[in-house]
Amino acid sequence: MSQAPVFPDGFLWGAATAAHQIEGSPLADGAGPSIWTRFAHTPGMTLNGDTGDVACDHYRRWKDDVKLMRDLGLQAYRFSVAWARVLPEGTGRINQAGLDFYSRLVDELLANGIEPLLTLYHWDLPAALDDRGGWLNRDSADWFAEYASVMYKALDGRVKKWVTLNEPWVITDGGYLHGALAPGHRSLFEAPIASHNLMRAHGAAVRAYREIGAHEIGLVVNIEPKYAASDSEADRVATRRAHAYMNEQYLHPALLGRYPEELEDVFGAAWPEWPKQDFELIRQKLDFVGINYYTRGVTEANDSYPLKAGSVRQPLATYSETGWEFYPKGLTDLLVWFKQTYGDTPVYITENGAAMYDPPAAEVDADGRGRVRDPLRTAYLRQHIGAIHDAIQAGVDVRGYMLWSLLDNLEWSLGYSKRFGMVHVNYATQQRTPKDSAHWYSGVIRSHGRSL
């Protein structure tokens, strides 16, 4: 970049978390269990048997954490609501103490000049609904619309940016196809059904918002550009299949009202006939789309199940602790593809970040006087925010950036082994210590990107 980048007026700088990953106290004050409470307490399901029982203790430390956000200069904060805190059985009875927790959090954010960006579903389905079939049950669309309506009535106006689902691809690929995430199913037949019901639930929640809400609502997807590993026919076909499976499987029905045709090839006999009226429900006008970007996929044909495509490691690249290649140009390419494919729906980058090896907690003394040097994370963030600027220069309407994550937190089945936070958490003492990357990001926010 030859000169200081200029981001659009109103471009929103924030950070993101999710309920199950930071809150702890999953059953406090009348909350019901979620599928993640059950999954993590099932032996062998998470690394070291790590659970969300304590996490970052945010359920109790929320006020100090908002102060931390203010001190860092965040303009926005993306968080999720634990459905089973508000509706312990998933539908019906409202647990007022659970609703009050989120109402207080929103008020504290607003009092500190931080805009809340609320995700209704970030993977933690009430266990009571899983007992009724969960996302495999077509009634899940009604369950989700009921829950969403409770939240809209309670918070809309204070919350002006709503997200229905976080990453339906991960929910399905992890929770129903490969079994690495809750509820831990492994079925080629269940996966498309769960996917489809998730998208019906998304549509039902947006339709309910249009009846109740007066602000903005969108969908968050994780997408990554797929580049053929060679110009062989096999690799090019595999790349197309992988692109459809991850990048179009949810955006196509949400924005175009149809699935990409490659999915029939991926799922074969497991691909159902969908009722046409379902797509009228799924395809609702969206005020924005949230894109979670971490890396790209250089893709080759292989014998992986069921995709028959996989990523090829790049010998000279830098990789994060989760094995994701640093590839900022992929974010620019992806954003340009999004605009070319789906038009000018506004976009927020709702997650971007890297798990890097940070100095052990011992180097950060108990009262947080220590310093956490994380130059690789700062490099990653600088490169990717620069890539967003390149996309904006290319005409893509990107409205904001939510860094993943505010805090080191529970990385699902990987437990506490991966640290994505710009703020270090000493899990033994719950001491928060901003890392060098946090101080750097504060400067980016203060300069509105010009200090990049």
Ligand X SMILES: CO[C@H](O)c1c[n+]2c([nH]1)[C@H](O)[C@@H](O)[C@H](O)[C@H]2CO
Using a 10 angstrom Cβ sphere, with 0-12 exposed, 13-18 middle and 19 or more buried, the burial of residue 3 is exposed
Query: Closer to ligand X at the Cβ: 91 or 166?
Result: 166
Binding mask 170-189 for ligand X (x = CB under 6 A): x-------------------
Taking CB positions, which residue lies at the least distance from ligand X? 222
Report 335-374 residues binding ligand X (CB under 6 A): 351
Q: Residue 328: what are its φ and ψ, rounded to 5°? A: -60, -30
Query: Closer to ligand X at the Cβ: 300 or 411?
Result: 411
Is residue 79 part of the contact set for ligand X (CB under 6 A)? no
Is residue 83 part of the contact set for ligand X (CB under 6 A)? no
Q: How far is the CB of 420 from ligand X (least distance, A)?
A: 6
**Among 37, 222, 413, 437, contact with ligand X (rule: CB under 6 A):** 222
**Among 25, 95, 249, 292, contact with ligand X (rule: CB under 6 A):** 292
Catalytic residue, from 23, 167, 190, 325: name it.
167
C-beta neighbour count of 131 within 10 angstroms: 12
Is residue 47 part of the contact set for ligand X (CB under 6 A)? no
Is residue 401 part of the contact set for ligand X (CB under 6 A)? no
Using a 10 angstrom Cβ sphere, with 0-12 exposed, 13-18 middle and 19 or more buried, the burial of residue 417 is middle
The region of 27-35, 164-172, 207-215, 338-346 touching ligand X under the rule CB under 6 A is 164-172
Residue 30 CA to residue 371 CA, distance in Å, equals 39
The upper half-sphere exposure of residue 311, i.e. CA atoms within 13 Å in the direction of its Cβ, equals 15
Query: Closer to ligand X at the Cβ: 55 or 286?
Result: 55
Query: Closer to ligand X at the Cβ: 91 or 119?
Result: 119
Asked if residue 188 lies in contact with residue 123, where contact means CB atoms within 8 angstroms, the answer is no
Query: Closer to ligand X at the Cβ: 278 or 351?
Result: 351
DSSP structural state of residue 247: I
Residue 429 CA to residue 56 CA, distance in Å, equals 10
Is residue 411 part of the contact set for ligand X (CB under 6 A)? yes
Strand partners, 12: 400
Orientation of helix 436-446 relative to helix 375-393, angle to 10°: 30
The amino acid that residue 74 corresponds to is L
Is residue 143 part of the contact set for ligand X (CB under 6 A)? no
The runs of H, that is alpha helices, within 259-351 are 262-267, 276-282, 328-342
Using a 10 angstrom Cβ sphere, with 0-12 exposed, 13-18 middle and 19 or more buried, the burial of residue 318 is middle
Residue 188 CA to residue 205 CA, distance in Å, equals 26
Q: Residue 119: what are its φ and ψ, rounded to 5°? A: -95, 120
Q: How far is the CB of 28 from ligand X (least distance, A)?
A: 21
Q: How far is the CB of 215 from ligand X (least distance, A)?
A: 23
Is residue 167 part of the contact set for ligand X (CB under 6 A)? yes
Query: Closer to ligand X at the Cβ: 150 or 191?
Result: 191
89 is catalytic: no
Query: Closer to ligand X at the Cβ: 21 or 332?
Result: 21
Is residue 422 part of the contact set for ligand X (CB under 6 A)? no
Query: Closer to ligand X at the Cβ: 279 or 324?
Result: 324
**CA 387 to each of CA 135, 147, 383: distance values in angstroms, whole numbers, following the listed order:** 36, 37, 6
Short-list 335, 439, 348, 354, CA closest to 396? 335
280 is catalytic: no
Strands 76-80 and 216-222: unpaired
Is residue 294 part of the contact set for ligand X (CB under 6 A)? yes
Is residue 404 part of the contact set for ligand X (CB under 6 A)? yes
Q: How far is the CB of 326 from ligand X (least distance, A)?
A: 14
Catalytic residue, from 23, 190, 351, 411: name it.
351
Q: How far is the CB of 411 from ligand X (least distance, A)?
A: 5
Could you give the maximum distance between any two Cα atoms of the chain, in Å? 60
Q: How far is the CB of 394 from ligand X (least distance, A)?
A: 22
C-beta neighbour count of 111 within 10 angstroms: 10
The amino acid that residue 238 corresponds to is A
Q: How far is the CB of 291 from ligand X (least distance, A)?
A: 9
Positions touching ligand X (CB under 6 A) are: 18, 21, 166-167, 170, 222, 292, 294, 351, 404, 411, 420
Which residues are catalytically annotated? 167, 351
